[in-house]
Amino acid sequence: MKRLIKVGGRHRKLEGWPLLFTILTTISVLIGGVVEFIPLVLVKGNVPTISSVKPWTPLELTGRDIYIREGCNNCHSQQIRPFRHELERYGEYSKPGETIYERPFLWGSKRTGPDLARVGGKYPHLWHVRHMEDPRSTSPQSIMPPYAWLLRKELNLSHLPAKMRVLNTMNVPYSAQEMENPVALAQSQAQEIANEVAAQGGPSNLADKEIIALVAYLQRLGTDLNATSAD
């Protein structure tokens, strides 16, 4: 009994020195934090990889930056929750491993428009071109604003090599080929998509326009999960 009182007394005394007490508390919280945090970062198994999920191609990466620039994520989430009504509407729910190459991620929760996590492949390329030019031409009651300038504005790929280098330092596994000549790769993918748009009856001069990068990005969204992977 006597001892207990003595211990309590020492703690009381410590509480009476606010500065020292704050310092000691901070140190113990930091130690606890480090013990919890370090394994989370170091243990590789904590990152839920899915082998069929690959990084964005250079063109899709450019399209993603246009998506961010235009604020599409203010109205569209990219995260399907595991609820029946979401699965019925959007498809398979989003897995953490699907977005490991996202810097920054665009999950969001604001849904003025529908979730886009699995919009890839839902429509032909031309649908997206028409929808961006004038949303009401494809969805008559749409309240989405038009982005017609994307069909006119030239695609700027000059920052692409630097962007790829930065992502590569953050462990996004780009191949040597992608790292060496991202601009040429982006241009050839853009040409392919532009040809398809033209073949579907759309404008034939879009290969070097921003809209093509955005379409490339949208058409990739959510498709990796069920992609047949080579490895």
Cβ(108)–Cβ(71) under 8 Å? no
Cβ(59)–Cβ(213) under 8 Å? yes
> Which residue, chain included where needed, has tokens 């498809």?
91
Interface residue list for ligand HEC (CB under 6 A): 67, 70-72, 74-76, 112-114, 116, 119, 122, 135, 139, 142-145, 147, 214, 218
Shortest Å distance, C-beta 84 to ligand HEC: 18
Residue 56 or 147 with smaller CB distance to ligand HEC: 147
Residue 31 or 68 with smaller CB distance to ligand HEC: 68
Shortest Å distance, C-beta 151 to ligand HEC: 12
Residue nearest to ligand HEC (CB): 113
Q: Where are the alpha helices (DSSP H) in the chain?
A: 2-15, 18-42, 58-69, 84-90, 125-133, 135-138, 160-169, 176-180, 182-199, 210-220
- Distance (Å, whole) CA 129 – CA 152: 12
Residue 177 or 226 with smaller CB distance to ligand HEC: 226
Half-sphere exposure of 49 (CA within 13 A, CB side): 12
Shortest Å distance, C-beta 46 to ligand HEC: 32
Residue 178 or 210 with smaller CB distance to ligand HEC: 210
Shortest Å distance, C-beta 155 to ligand HEC: 15
Sign of CA dihedral 183, 184, 188, 194: positive
Shortest Å distance, C-beta 123 to ligand HEC: 7
Shortest Å distance, C-beta 153 to ligand HEC: 12
Residue 81 or 122 with smaller CB distance to ligand HEC: 122
Enumerate the β-bridge partners of residue 154.
209
Residue 54 or 118 with smaller CB distance to ligand HEC: 118
Both tokens assigned to 27:
């140190």
Residue 113 or 203 with smaller CB distance to ligand HEC: 113
Cβ(76)–Cβ(116) under 8 Å? yes
Shortest Å distance, C-beta 50 to ligand HEC: 23
Closest CA to 60 of 215, 227, 229, 170: 215
